[in-house]
Chain A
């Protein structure tokens, strides 16, 4: 499978093997995996030639797990153990979950994220998602004939930090190395934009099964710059199904259905909805557990009427995104439609009317996200230089902390380009105060109670001072995945305390290990051996990267610095073949630390190359 590679400037000097990387669209309804083969992004099908894997997971009493079609076929028969649309529960508490999400599960309230009780025990939505990812990973490894170096996983642009963290955890649980979390509309824009050499401002309207996103992007000479994004992470095709379901109940004077009947009617409702995309009317038939039969005709117009306010609901975020971008409808050159639910004619009509142009539907709305993610994965894996295009994305929701009176103080505003960092200073309000608690929140509302709580932590060891004398600097750093890291330190007295928090809803490494051990597929896996192998691969990659860096830029180092790096490399090589993964890890850390200044010098050099190092305007002082 190794493709012949031609090394490009800025890349490793030696031709290297093609690294297997994939893009995964982990959808509410359907998931799929794609990869770049011979320079072309392609979706990988299963053995039966199917691209879409239904995002359905069934837990059986014997501890085995079904995912995909097999699970979907059982959803009415075994509704409480068959989890559909688990994505709606990712990073969500019980109180966040809306009515359309299937009330027939046995929810278990848990701190941070809701869980589900099944015959196989209590499962977190993260574990459910990991089952889907495992199937896709296996499909990819089978098709590509080797282990993956990593995957780009897509998330709705409007996902908050908790939902993103949960997605990343699910990937880890499935044994995937996450190269990047990529926003779904942005992925679609890459696939569309690169294909069509698009230039100008585009809107991506993405209505899937459970989420709605709108992103406004500026495409100019290979740069994909997200100007604003908005959406609703609890609005999608499922809600249209739910409208039909409610209508069926009313029409047939039904109430208080059991779990199996509810699931059955929701499935029928979805089929009816899809049918109405092509036909003026559809007939819904079902036999309930009681033996009662349902046979009702639904006209397209009636469906449009009952779902009209859902369609309108999507236009609010669209207007907000335009306002945030400072643009008018007339500035939009094209509207890219993504997600299966955009097939509905009333949605296309509403979007066309709003933007005063026919939306672009020439790409497969089911596949475009995965195709874009695969293109990004190929670049991130280092298979090709991305000098010809660049992605600049944003965070969808403001980040802040709680201040006096339960109010939020925004620290990073929504639509800030990532990566980004912002620091703010706070002070003590009592004499001799030695601790301060920090509550991190996300959202646009003024009251903390109306925002999502991300994390709470305490900064201790502040030297006692009079009120208002301490200087506590809180720094928010959002990385290129859109994930937040918060640190705080006291700088007023020169004494520093420093803490870095991972938001509380994120799984700890021990929890992930436990889940890994719990899951059947991995029970036999020798964890120890796996950890060692991963550590070795990481070490080998690091050695290769440093070797290449030295080949290019050793001149930036003085003799001592170079000798130190070489010594660290030798040290790592010496332990690499031992079975001691702690020793390998230590040596990897040493080598990384030894190369920080080198990395800085290299960066300075490449920045100089692009903006002068030639002549610069002399700056007034």
Chain B
């Protein structure tokens, strides 16, 4: 597994022997640059390399103290991975590192056009479910995936390049809506199944 870890070559560097790695933020923990665009291959490799070191399976024959520390670490590495791997969580986390709150609970104002589109999506999913049309649901799913992709690209530019965090927070909230739609599609599939 060690071979999986290459250098993360970059200009400025620093050594981190003096601080506990447990306290590091998730990007530091994974040795990745703090940016929204992320190299998923590298993320996966580093995730695996870290779990190989910390997972409870490596400590089950050791002392209670070591097992406890291992569980805490493995839990944190899993949380870090889930956060960085998920496009919404990663954005929310990155923005919070920059002191920006995405206000998903408090700010419910969305552009009218966007809300209209949501209504249309919602109806299309419901219709497909009522017609028990799995093919139509598949199509909707693909279309939704495309929209999510487009939004993510915008978000990446807003965060990494333009540093327009106000626009980015709205982007996160939009993605959250689309995530809900994806869940709706999945439960429509479930409903057709039964």
Contact = CB atoms under 8 A, between A and B. Distances in A.
B186 A603 contact: no
Nearest to B34: A619
Contacts of A379: 57
B66 to A, nearest CB: 4
B173 interface: no
B75 A390 contact: no
Interface in A129-147: none
Contact of B28 (A179, A602, A619): A619
Interface in B119-163: none
Nearest to A607: B21
A447 to B, nearest CB: 15
B189 A319 contact: yes
B62 interface: yes
Contact of B65 (A221, A599, A615): A599
B49 interface: yes
Interface in B43-65: 44, 46, 48-58, 60-65
A391 interface: yes
A604 interface: yes
A616 B78 contact: no
A380 interface: yes
Contact of B34 (A382, A607, A620): A620
B17 A542 contact: no
- Chain B facing A: main interface SS: helix
B110 to A, nearest CB: 24
Contacts of A603: 22, 53-54, 66, 69-70, 73
A596 B65 contact: yes
B50 A610 contact: yes
Nearest to A392: B51
A152 to B, nearest CB: 10
Contacts of B117: none
A599 B69 contact: yes
B57 A479 contact: no
B56 A419 contact: yes
A376 B57 CA distance: 9
Interface string A335-379: 000000000000000000000000000000000000000001001
Given A316-B193, A477-B75, A615 B13 contact: yes
A599 B68 contact: yes
Given A390-B51, A421-B79, A618-B10, A612 B65 contact: no
A608 interface: yes
A390 B193 contact: no
Contacts of B49: 610-611
A417 B27 CA distance: 19
Contacts of B28: 616, 619
B51 to A, nearest CB: 6
Contacts of A93: none
A607 B54 contact: yes
Contacts of B108: none
Given A323-B186, A419-B74, A599-B68, A545 B13 contact: no
Contacts of B52: 387, 390, 610
Nearest to A390: B52
A596 B65 CA distance: 5
Given A316-B193, A392-B51, A610-B5, A592 B63 contact: yes
A296 B31 CA distance: 69
B61 A592 contact: no
A136 to B, nearest CB: 20
Contact of A600 (B5, B22, B193): B22
Contacts of A392: 51, 55
A479 B74 CA distance: 10
B172 to A, nearest CB: 19
A610 B34 CA distance: 19
B1 A608 contact: no
Given A419-B78, A617-B10, A596 B68 contact: yes
Contacts of B15: 613, 616
Contacts of B14: 616, 618
Interface string A557-592: 000000000000000000000000000000010011
A600 B60 contact: no
B103 interface: no
Given A323-B189, A420-B78, A616 B8 contact: yes
A595 interface: yes
Given A479-B56, A610-B5, A617-B8, A545 B66 contact: yes
Given A603-B69, A619-B28, A595 B50 contact: no
A606 interface: yes
B190 interface: yes
A14 to B, nearest CB: 14
A608 B21 contact: yes
A420 B34 CA distance: 24
A595 B63 contact: yes
Contacts of B56: 419, 479-480
B48 A386 contact: no
A617 B66 contact: no
A549 interface: yes
A380 B57 CA distance: 6
Nearest to A546: B63
Contacts of A616: 8, 13-16, 28, 31
Q: Of residues B1, B50, B57, which shows the largest number of chain A Cβ atoms within 10 Å of its Cβ?
A: B57
7 contacts: A390-B52, A391-B55, A392-B55, A419-B71, A419-B78, A607-B50, A607-B54
Interface of B: 1-2, 4-5, 7-17, 20-22, 25, 27-34, 44, 46, 48-58, 60-66, 68-71, 73-75, 78-79, 81-82, 186, 189-190, 193-194
Given A545-B63, A588-B64, A616-B14, 11 more contacts: A221-B1, A320-B190, A390-B52, A392-B55, A417-B82, A419-B75, A541-B61, A592-B63, A595-B66, A599-B66, A604-B21
Interface of A: 10, 19, 179-180, 220-223, 316, 319-320, 323, 376, 379-382, 386-388, 390-392, 416-421, 477, 479-480, 541-542, 545-546, 549, 588, 591-593, 595-596, 598-600, 602-604, 606-620
- Leading 4 A-B pairs by shortest Cβ distance: A382-B61, A618-B12, A617-B10, A480-B56
